[in-house]
Structure 1
């Protein structure tokens, strides 16, 4: 399968902090093989949270990184929203989920009208 990876600003800002080139490639390969690998985030418009190992700190999936993404099937695109360390933030707040859901809804609506 071929797909496009779209890095949104928050992901782009944090990627170099958490993922070196090899880890980012491993993330892309994982998502290509298993597009719905992450757990759905409740009330977030289809966003998924993927547990991903943090090689820089020697942490496995459980204690490592979290990648928030959306798999847009018709366009074969992964929208990478953000990446963070589990120790920094346990979960998205209700406000964050609502804002992200609004962003996804607007983007999908815009793509339907193209």
Structure 2
């Protein structure tokens, strides 16, 4: 069993970018494979998942930044969500902030 914990950067934008059904689908994908995203260097273990939205084409996808504490803990921290056309990668300042957050989560 997994518990999803939404950090403010995620929860602030989630409803604008994903419907409830899309969010449920994302959660199911993360439960099936909690390490499916690419590890982001300089963040202490956060991952970036490229998530396509049905009927939105290539530019309609979103990026989800999350942290999987461990499979045993069953906690997935959802840190950020943004549209693909908004940004391709997170900034160095965001990476630094995520590094601090990862230290508090361990």
Shared fold (TM-score, shorter chain, > 0.5): yes
> Which consecutive residues of structure 2, in runs of 5 or more, have no partner in the other structure?
none
Within-5 A mapping of 1:76-87: 76-87=74-85
Higher-RCO chain (CA-CA 8 Å, sequence separation at least 6): 2
> Following the alignment from structure 2 to structure 1, what is the Cα–Cα distance between the partners of residues 19 and 91?
27
TM-score, normalization by structure 2: 0.92
The question of whether the paired residues in 2 share the 8 Å contact of 1:18 and 1:54 is answered with: no
- SS at structure 1 position matched to 2:79: strand
Match of 2:66 among 62, 65, 69: 69
Q: Please provide the CA RMSD for this pair.
A: 1.5
1:79 Cα deviation from its structure 2 partner: 0.1
Q: Moved runs in structure 1, 4+ residues, more than 6 A?
A: none
Within-5 A mapping of 1:38-49: 38-49=37-48
- For the pair shown, the structure with the greater C-alpha radius of gyration is 1
Corresponding residue for residue 16 of structure 2: 17
Number of matched pairs: 105
